[in-house]
Amino acid sequence: MSKLLTIKNIASIMGYIASEHKQINTILRGNLWDVDLTKDVTGVYLIFNISNIVPNGFNGVDYSVDIFICDNVSEINSSSNSMSVQNECSLIGLDIMSIFKSFGKGEYADKNVATVLGANWSIQPFEERFDSLYSGVAISLTLSSAFGYVRCDIPTNRVSDGEMIYDDYQARIEAIEGVVVDENCAIEDLNNL
C-alpha cells in the first residue's frame, strides 16, 4: 500500500538527492534569501521550500515545491563563471526532474510514497548578490499525491510538559493490528507525520 506524501518525505527525498550529487555541499530548507546565513561559501547549495499544499480535484493534494540550486561565483570574470555555474546547476536540476518523474522506481527509502511530478515544472537561471555573488537555477515544481480524506486517529491530548501521550496510542494501534481508519493510516505511518 502506498503512503501519502508528507513534508518529512520531501525533506528525506531532498536529502537523498543531495547525497547522490557529490557537487552539492549543503542542503537547506527555506528560501533563497537563507543562502548567506551559513557564511559557508564552498560548494553547491540545494535549498528547498514547500510553498503550499492544495487539493487537486482528483482525490489528491498538490505540494508546490521551490528548489534553488546555486553556488558562490568568483568576482573575477563573473559572466563566464556565472554561466558555467548556471549550466552545472541546470544539469543537476534536470536530473532532479528525472528522479521525480521516475519516482517509485528508485532505490531509496521513500519509494513506496504515492507521488507524481506535475507536467508544468520550470527551471529559471538566476544571478543574485547577497554578501557575495551567487548564480544557479530556481526550480518550481508540483508533486501530486493521493489523498482519500480519511482521518488518522492521532492523539491530541498533551501532558503538562508538551509531550504527546504516545504509549496509550501505540497500545490502541497494536490492539487493532496496526490499522486505524480504512486501512489508510498504519503505525509505521506515524514516523511520516
Residues 168, 62: Cα–Cα separation, whole Å: 33
**147-161 per-position pLDDT tens digit:** 767 666 555 554 444
Confidence (pLDDT) at 66: 95
- CATH classification code of 3-146: 3.30.70.1700
Q: Does the predicted TM-score (pTM) go above 0.75? A: no
23 in helix, strand or coil? Answer: coil
Residues 149, 135: Cα–Cα separation, whole Å: 41
> CB–CB of 130/124 below 8 Å?
no
Distances (CA, A) of 55 to 9, 58, 59, 60, 103: 18, 8, 8, 6, 21
Q: Which residue has the higher pLDDT, 170 or 57?
A: 57
Domain ranges in the chain are 3-146, 150-193
